[in-house]
């Protein structure tokens, strides 16, 4: 995850060939929370879902090794994968939630590659389900879920009814390691394979990426001695 990112020579995106893809850290926290709920016997089954090319099955296996029961790989590759964003993923999750009759969808609050912070919210909207986002504490109470949310002002506690969508924030838990014996056992767990079309989802993007550039190199700062100097400099470069 610490690889230096390079913009492709044609500025259409970043180079992803040969880069190790691993589970989004907030999603690791989400998986950990789901597995904890199952260990407390509050939920019956945890299904790990990922959308993408063949490589994502490795990530699903890690989730299975952490304790999920089975996996679903929604295969998206090539141009569709490059254009895939929160809207298409939310549609896929919504369709799967209905198909599987899920009572809870738990995801990371945002992905660290695009920092969108949209998928959880969009999924809830498409399903018309309540959402508990930025969760730092989750308690199931019968048919309701109490969620403590991290917000700018502090912590907000809400109670929502299931089925619901939750998104995990940093302090929700510390994910366990996927140990080797569990990785080996995970090989026996099932991962179902399907395409977005099987779920009736169209992958057409409403967003077109025009160009990707590296951020400009930071220029050296200039120190000034007095306020007058500062005003003069700001006038000189047209800022005021």
Q: Contact positions toward other proteins, by CB under 8 A?
A: 1-4, 6, 9, 17-20, 22, 174-177, 179-181, 183-184
Tokens 């730092």 belong to which residue? 136
Beta carbon nearer to other proteins, 4 or 211? 4
CA distance 72 to 163: 20
Q: Around Cβ 47, how many Cβ atoms within 10 Å?
A: 17
Shortest CB 207 distance to other proteins, Å? 27
Beta carbon nearer to other proteins, 20 or 223? 20
Among candidate residues 137, 145, 126, the one with its CA nearest the CA of residue 168: 137
Beta carbon nearer to other proteins, 61 or 149? 61
Shortest CB 158 distance to other proteins, Å? 28
For 137, phi then psi, to 5°, come to -160, 135
Beta carbon nearer to other proteins, 7 or 47? 7
Q: What is the DSSP letter of 7?
A: B
Strands (DSSP E) found in the chain: 47-52, 70-75, 104-108, 131-141, 144-151, 154-161, 164-168, 191-194
Shortest CB 178 distance to other proteins, Å? 8
User: Max alpha carbon distance in the chain (Å)?
Assistant: 73
Structure tokens, 138: 């989750």
CA distance 11 to 112: 20
Shortest CB 43 distance to other proteins, Å? 22
Shortest CB 184 distance to other proteins, Å? 7
Beta carbon nearer to other proteins, 94 or 178? 178
Shortest CB 1 distance to other proteins, Å? 7
Beta carbon nearer to other proteins, 3 or 139? 3
């Amino acid at each position: 995850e610490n690889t230096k990112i390079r913009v492709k020579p044609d500025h259409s995106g970043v180079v992803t060939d040969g880069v190790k893809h691993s589970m989004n850290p907030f999603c690791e926290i989400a998986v950990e929370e789901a597995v904890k709920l199952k260990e407390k016997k509050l939920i019956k089954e945890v299904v790990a879902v990922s959308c993408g090319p063949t490589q994502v099955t490795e990530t699903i296996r890690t989730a299975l090794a952490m304790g999920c029961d089975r996996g679903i790989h929604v295969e998206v590759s090539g141009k569709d994968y490059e254009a895939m964003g929160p809207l298409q993923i939310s549609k896929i999750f919504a369709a799967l939630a209905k198909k599987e009759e899920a009572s809870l969808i738990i995801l990371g609050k945002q992905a660290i590659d695009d920092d969108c912070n949209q998928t959880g919210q969009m999924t809830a909207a498409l399903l018309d389900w309540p959402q508990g986002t930025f969760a730092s504490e989750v308690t199931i109470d019968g048919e309701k879920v109490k969620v403590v949310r991290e917000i700018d002002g502090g912590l907000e506690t809400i109670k929502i009814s299931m089925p619901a969508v939750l998104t995990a924030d940093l302090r929700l838990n510390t994910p366990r390691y996927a140990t080797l014996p569990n990785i080996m056992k995970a090989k026996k767990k099932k991962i179902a394979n399907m395409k977005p079309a099987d779920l009736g989802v169209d992958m057409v993007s409403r967003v077109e990426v025009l160009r990707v550039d590296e951020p400009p190199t930071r220029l050296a700062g200039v120190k000034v001695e007095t306020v007058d100097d500062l005003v003069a400099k700001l006038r000189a470069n047209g800022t005021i």
